[in-house]
Amino acid sequence: MSTFGRTGPWANKPGFDFIAQAASGLMHMTGSPDEPPGVVWSAIADNNAAVHGFAGLGYALFHREKTGQGQFLDLAMVDCMFHHHEIALQAWHLSDGEFVPERMGRHHQLVFPVGLFQGPQKHLALLALDFQWENVCRAMDRIDLLTDPRYADISDRAKRQNELIPLIEDWMATFDTDEDLLEHLEEYRVPASPVLSPIDAIDHPHFAAREMVRWVEDPIHGSVPIPGFPWKFSTNDQLPDLVAPLLGEHNADILMTKLGYSIEQVQELSDAGILFHGAT
């Protein structure tokens, strides 16, 4: 796994997650249209490439089982992130260049309602496809919008979203809390969600039920929360020990049991400052 892969003109360029975001077009598509490109500050390229690697490993093992042959997997972070442009290339091509993929900000430029809306307290995410527009209108008690020719389909609504956004947000403001609003939208099966922060997840009942916040005992810092495993296997609910060893913690064990060093030789290396062990 590398930033740019083993082939191509950029194969030998150094890089990290941040660089992969830039080269793949992800930064170009992140943020508001009237601002410079944005950054996803969650190591998305690192993690996404790792998941792609996990999938590739599974395929390689399956291929070996079927054919007896191994595979060499050349995986680039840039390729993995570029793979996220699900409609940008074909939309540009099929529109003869009329549609140019750009940053959209809070609302999708081609379909509506798909975006972030100001709720009574915080921003809420709402996405309603064409067949769900009726649900939105009924939730707002605005059945008249269903027969308004200006909002006939999802693309018409996108073109006139500057009219619809304040209309929807004014209706949302009539609720006392975001929770009340979300419960009302759920009654009409309108897909919506609060915009949570990572810290919000720690005490959230859904994340607790999914075991997505795990507490591990760190030898230095004590009990520490970390994200849980997203895989929920039906026949194996045992999670592995996630406590990482201290730097150099197993030096003596490896040197003596695997390489045949004596305790005196290990001590000499330690005294000479060649080996390190302990907290960092």
pLDDT digits (tens, 9 = 90+) for 116-137: 999 999 999 999 999 999 999 9
Selection from 44, 29, 111 nearest residue 80 by Cα: 44
- Buried residues in 24-37 as b, exposed as e (16+ CB within 10 A): bbbbbbbbeeeeee
Domain boundary among 94, 125, 157: 94
The pLDDT of residue 218 is 86
Domain count, the chain: 4
- Indicate whether 214 pLDDT > 80: yes
Shared domain for 125 and 181, answered yes or no, is yes
Q: Which amino acid is at 210?
A: R
The pLDDT of residue 229 is 87
Print the domain residue range for 152. Answer: 114-194
The pLDDT of residue 12 is 96
Which of 34, 46, 79, 180 is an active site residue? 46
Q: Which amino acid is at 169?
A: E
- Position 57 in a domain: yes
Shared domain for 203 and 135, answered yes or no, is no
- Position 121 in a domain: yes
Shared domain for 234 and 249, answered yes or no, is no
Shared domain for 34 and 74, answered yes or no, is yes
- Indicate whether 280 pLDDT > 70: no
CA distance linking residue 44 with residue 74, whole number of Å: 19
Q: What end-to-end distance do the CA atoms of the chain give, in Å? A: 27
- Indicate whether 143 pLDDT > 90: yes
Shared domain for 160 and 124, answered yes or no, is yes
The pLDDT of residue 135 is 98
CA distance linking residue 142 with residue 125, whole number of Å: 20
The residue behind tokens 């009654």 is 187
Shared domain for 168 and 231, answered yes or no, is no
* Interval 215-256: pLDDT, tens: 888 888 899 999 988 888 888 766 776 677 888 999 999 999
Q: What is the domain-level CATH number for residue 128?
A: 3.30.1540.10
The pLDDT of residue 238 is 66
Shared domain for 78 and 127, answered yes or no, is no
The pLDDT of residue 114 is 96
Q: Using pLDDT thresholds of 50, 70 and 90, give the confidence band for residue 279.
A: low
Shared domain for 75 and 45, answered yes or no, is yes
Average pLDDT value for residue range 35-54: 95
Q: Is 156 a catalytic residue?
A: no
The pLDDT of residue 36 is 95
* 107, β-bridge pairs: 115
CB 224 within 8 A of CB 160: no
- Position 8 in a domain: no
Shared domain for 180 and 210, answered yes or no, is no
Average pLDDT value for residue range 7-30: 96
* Interval 168-196: pLDDT, tens: 999 999 999 999 999 999 999 999 999 99
- Position 34 in a domain: yes
Structure tokens at 246: 């201290």
Shared domain for 87 and 22, answered yes or no, is yes
pTM check: above 0.85: no
- Position 104 in a domain: no
